[in-house]
Amino acid sequence: MTQTAPISPGARLAAMRAAAPLIHNITNYVAMNVMANVLLAAGASPAMVHAREEAADFAAVASALTVNIGTISPPWAEAMEAAAASAVAHGKPWVLDPVAVFASGYRSGACTRLLDLRPTAIRGNASEILAQSGGAAGASGADAGDEVSAAEDGARALARRSGAVVAVTGPVDFVTDGTRALRVANGHGLMPKVTALGCSLTGVVAAFLATGEDPLDAAAAALAFYGLAGERAAQGATGPGGFAVAFLDALHALTPAELDAGARIEAA
Amino acid sequence: MTQTAPISPGARLAAMRAAAPLIHNITNYVAMNVMANVLLAAGASPAMVHAREEAADFAAVASALTVNIGTISPPWAEAMEAAAASAVAHGKPWVLDPVAVFASGYRSGACTRLLDLRPTAIRGNASEILAQSGGAAGASGADAGDEVSAAEDGARALARRSGAVVAVTGPVDFVTDGTRALRVANGHGLMPKVTALGCSLTGVVAAFLATGEDPLDAAAAALAFYGLAGERAAQGATGPGGFAVAFLDALHALTPAELDAGARIEAA
Amino acid sequence: MTQTAPISPGARLAAMRAAAPLIHNITNYVAMNVMANVLLAAGASPAMVHAREEAADFAAVASALTVNIGTISPPWAEAMEAAAASAVAHGKPWVLDPVAVFASGYRSGACTRLLDLRPTAIRGNASEILAQSGGAAGASGADAGDEVSAAEDGARALARRSGAVVAVTGPVDFVTDGTRALRVANGHGLMPKVTALGCSLTGVVAAFLATGEDPLDAAAAALAFYGLAGERAAQGATGPGGFAVAFLDALHALTPAELDAGARIEAA
């Protein structure tokens, strides 16, 4: 038995851009515009479709789906569940973003129902993954109140229980499928000063999942790509406003070769 | 009978800015912020009002209305229809933006009902206009999958059937009232890499319609203004992030004389 | 009896940043993203939560609440009232932003019910405060159609009647608790050319109220901070696009010492 060479992050980026996958997003009002711009800049084709009348049909034709509970309300929750079930039925990957799942019983109930629909991946900050895995989150709003390291055991447990790849993002990201785990050390401290960059990352993860066979490595490549674009954008940025602009430019400009040279992915 | 001199695009821009028309927009969640900024930068006064409880009343006092189905759902569809009917009843122009009308039966049904309310103009990409005119669209998401040239016959037919000026926007725009037709060759390839610039153009078309007598020429002037601002913004832009910023600056800075010098409008 | 030294605007800014208060916002779709970025850049932690199922619970744990009627509809109005009542019950300040309250009977009815819930502060443009105080507004859309000076008497009356600090913002802001009044002369003419900067200011006022004892002086410090960031951002800005980017950078960079040096707050 011969071993195939591993697919590099840069090769994954090139494949994603070549496919320009249609990413169906049911996300929060704060994130919609920046997420669409992030996906366009990265090379994917975003669409935001949330009506119950069409969400399931649209998930069937899109390349991947993301579901983000940031500004969830009951009609949207119905569409999220219908779209996720449709994605699964049609063999399309879908990614869950459990924004502030710890903030209310309403949110945690919605996430429990979504988890039952077997997401391909879950991306959240440490507080969100801790809460999702049954732990106590040290946060009350949308920003993380816990260190990534504190959520690693929870992430492994959540991955094993749900069957999803779980990505805990922060200064150093941790991503696991319950068996293997990776750390991704790309990124910059200005990223959490721009709203919805975490939410938008969920879309980029979906775009890489849509065009890669192995969800753990595909997700890690997406995290490295995103973090490296953040590092490049921070060069010369004088604050979060200029950084956000330069970040879109960096997502657009970063080449596969640059990603291979700059990605800091290690076994955990 | 003497022939009056044609009104130049620059004169139309000056008239629009002098009037600063109040543009009532019922648009999608992705576009709202950028559309408001585009209208402010161009010189109009935007307002986003979608509640059924007030949409018809607001359409009666605004200078023009736009309706965009990008993130349509049933309560919004009701407000769209009520606002469009009110605009017509009060002699105000209204513009339909049939985002991804081909994506679901729900969308095409909503658009059919809106078309019956006789929009003054319809603006879409080639796939949207093709679908709206009864053809088969080569797209599945929000981005165009067809060439503008492929939608010209459909645009003429749609204009004749609906009574609306139909604008197909892309690398070279095509706009027709069913009898006459114009091509507008302004624009830049970075424009489709920024989300909601097409949606926002619909608002600028409405602003020019609100302050011009002849919808076909008013729409063409709006398209030339928009595209020329895109050309200017692309000078020195290093990617879609910086381009989006420079585009707002260009809409704000472009003078009527510069528009007259740079507009590339030709009979089709 | 000794008199304590007044707290400087810079000291209030430092206190706000040290606390990084969680600000719960129920605001309009146009403003959500920019408001979140403004609050992050200023040093607060924003959260947008509007579902009736959780809004009251969330208001109880947040440091302050803002309610903005810009794109109000009946389900959101219910959540606004529940959240405001919860904020009051838990001793948290809340700020009302009566966007275009004059535009429909639906809006003015919603505002009347919110006023009965005793906001800590009300921030609006001159036309909005005039309408809220029972006068006739000279505007039809979201932009002010009246001078700040024309709304001063109305602001005093509204403050006395409602118990709220009332801030009328414009070229020179006027803020009063019904007894005392201040003028804040910071700001720049490009600010109203960027959508939702007024809405976002409401969040900054809430952040200062959440970390200051005296609402009138806390609100004035917030207005000075915001206006001074606008003045700094305008240096070198070539239009509303670049200005909006530089404005976030300025909110992030402005130091307490710079605010104390640049604030132009005077008794009215």
Give the CB-side neighbour count of residue C238, counting CA atoms within 13 A.
10
- pLDDT, residue B79, reads 97
Gyration radius of chain B over CA positions: 17
- pLDDT, residue C2, reads 53
Residue C2 forms part of a structural domain: no
Q: What residues in chain C have their Cβ under 8 A from chain A's Cβ atoms?
A: 22, 29, 32-33, 36-37, 40-41, 45-54, 57-58, 61-62, 75, 244-250, 252-253
How far are the Cα atoms of A147, B239, C16, C80, C137 from residue C49, in angstroms, in the given order? 24, 33, 22, 10, 31
Interface test with C, best of A73, A190, A194 (most C CBs within 10 A): A73
Write the ipTM: 0.95
Helix, strand, coil distribution of chain B in percent, nearest 5 = 50, 15, 35
| DSSP letter string, B216-248 | HHHHHHHHHHHHHHHHHHHTT--SHHHHHHHHH
From chain C, pick out residues whose CB is under 8 angstroms from the CB of B51: 71-74, 106
What's the whole-model pTM score? Answer: 0.97
* Chains adjacent to B (≥3 CB pairs closer than 8 angstroms): A, C
Give how far C13 is from chain A: nearest CA, Å: 17
Residue A139 forms part of a structural domain: no
Beta bridge partners of A97: A68
Place of tokens 């559309």: B35
Question: Which residues of chain B are under the pLDDT cut of 50?
Answer: 1
C-beta separation of A63 from A86 below 8 A: no
Q: Which helix (H) or strand (E) holds B254?
A: none
DSSP A7: P
Give how far A236 is from chain B: nearest CA, Å: 14
Residue type present at position C134: G
Place of tokens 């530089």: C246
Residue A164 forms part of a structural domain: yes
Q: CB neighbours (10 Å) of residue A81?
A: 19
Whether the predicted pLDDT of C114 surpasses 50: yes
A240 vs C33, C45, C248: nearest CB: C248
3-class secondary-structure state, position C112 = helix
Tell me whether residues C51 and A74 touch, CB distance under 8 A: yes
For residue A2, what pLDDT band results from cuts at 50, 70 and 90? low
Tell me whether residues A196 and C57 touch, CB distance under 8 A: no
For residue A265, what pLDDT band results from cuts at 50, 70 and 90? very high
Residue A61 forms part of a structural domain: yes
Helix, strand, coil distribution of chain C in percent, nearest 5 = 50, 15, 35
Opening angle at CA A32, ends A26 and A36, nearest 5: 100
Burial class, C263, CB count within 10 angstroms (exposed 0-12 / middle 13-18 / buried 19+): buried
Give how far A99 is from chain C: nearest CA, Å: 10
3-class secondary-structure state, position C267 = strand
Q: What residues in chain B have their Cβ under 8 A from chain A's Cβ atoms?
A: 28-31, 33-34, 70-74, 100, 103-107, 140-143, 192-196, 238-242, 244-245
Tell me whether residues B107 and A249 touch, CB distance under 8 A: no
Question: How many Cβ pairs within 8 Å bridge chains B and C?
Answer: 96
State how far the Cα of C202 lies from the Cα of A211, in Å rounded to an integer.
43
A141 vs C45, C57, C253: nearest CB: C45
Give how far B38 is from chain C: nearest CA, Å: 9
| CATH value at residue C242 | 3.40.1190.20
C-beta separation of C169 from C144 below 8 A: no
3-class secondary-structure state, position B27 = coil
Question: Could you tell me the end-to-end alpha-carbon distance of chain B, in angstroms, rounded to an integer?
Answer: 27
Whether the predicted pLDDT of A1 surpasses 80: no
Is C196 known to sit in a ligand binding site?
A: yes
Phi, psi of B44, deg, nearest 5: -100, 175
Reported residue count of chain C is 268
3-class secondary-structure state, position B11 = helix
Region of C57 on the Ramachandran plot (φ > 0 left; ψ -120 to 50 alpha; else beta) = alpha
Q: Residues of A forming the annotated binding site for ATP?
A: 123, 169
From chain A, pick out residues whose CB is under 8 angstroms from the CB of B244: 37, 245, 248
Is C183 known to sit in a ligand binding site?
A: no
C-beta separation of B119 from B90 below 8 A: no
C241 vs B32, B51, B249: nearest CB: B249
C-beta separation of A106 from C53 below 8 A: yes
- pLDDT, residue A34, reads 98
State how far the Cα of A195 lies from the Cα of A191, in Å rounded to an integer.
8
Tell me whether residues B32 and C29 touch, CB distance under 8 A: yes
What domain range includes position B168?
9-267
Reported residue count of chain A is 268
H helices of C90-211, in order, are 105-115, 126-132, 152-162, 197-210
A252 vs B72, B105, B239: nearest CB: B239
Tell me whether residues A33 and B28 touch, CB distance under 8 A: no
- pLDDT, residue C135, reads 81
- pLDDT, residue A138, reads 82
Q: Count the domains in chain A.
A: 1
Is C12 known to sit in a ligand binding site?
A: no
Residue type present at position A38: V
Range C174-203 average pLDDT: 98
Nearest CA in chain B to A254: B239
Range C129-138 average pLDDT: 87
Residue type present at position A96: L
Give how far C134 is from chain A: nearest CA, Å: 33
Mean per-residue pLDDT of chain A: 95
C-beta separation of C204 from C42 below 8 A: yes
State how far the Cα of A248 lies from the Cα of A39, in Å rounded to an integer.
9
Q: pLDDT tens digit string along A168-214?
A: 999 999 999 999 999 999 999 999 999 999 999 999 999 999 998 89
A245 vs C22, C47, C245: nearest CB: C245
3-class secondary-structure state, position A144 = coil
Q: pLDDT tens digit string along B113-152?
A: 999 999 999 999 999 999 998 888 888 787 778 899 999 9
Interface test with A, best of C30, C48, C254 (most A CBs within 10 A): C48
Beta bridge partners of A167: A123, A175
Reported residue count of chain B is 268
DSSP B148: G
Residue type present at position B163: G
Whether the predicted pLDDT of C45 surpasses 90: yes
Tell me whether residues C48 and A34 touch, CB distance under 8 A: no
State how far the Cα of C169 lies from the Cα of C147, in Å rounded to an integer.
10
Q: pLDDT tens digit string along A46-99?
A: 999 999 999 999 999 999 999 999 999 999 999 999 999 999 999 999 999 999
Residue B177 forms part of a structural domain: yes
Give how far A104 is from chain B: nearest CA, Å: 25
CA-wise closest residue to C143 among C30, C61, C256: C30
Tell me whether residues B29 and C29 touch, CB distance under 8 A: yes
3-class secondary-structure state, position A124 = strand
Residue B237 forms part of a structural domain: yes
State how far the Cα of C113 lies from the Cα of B201, in Å rounded to an integer.
37
From chain C, pick out residues whose CB is under 8 angstroms from the CB of A30: 32-33, 36, 48
CA-wise closest residue to B56 among B32, B19, B88, B95: B88
Q: pLDDT tens digit string along A229-262?
A: 999 999 989 899 999 999 999 999 999 999 999 9
Residue B1 forms part of a structural domain: no
Residue A52 forms part of a structural domain: yes
Q: pLDDT tens digit string along A107-118?
A: 999 999 999 999
Tell me whether residues C33 and A28 touch, CB distance under 8 A: no
Give how far A28 is from chain B: nearest CA, Å: 9
B249 vs C100, C192, C239: nearest CB: C239
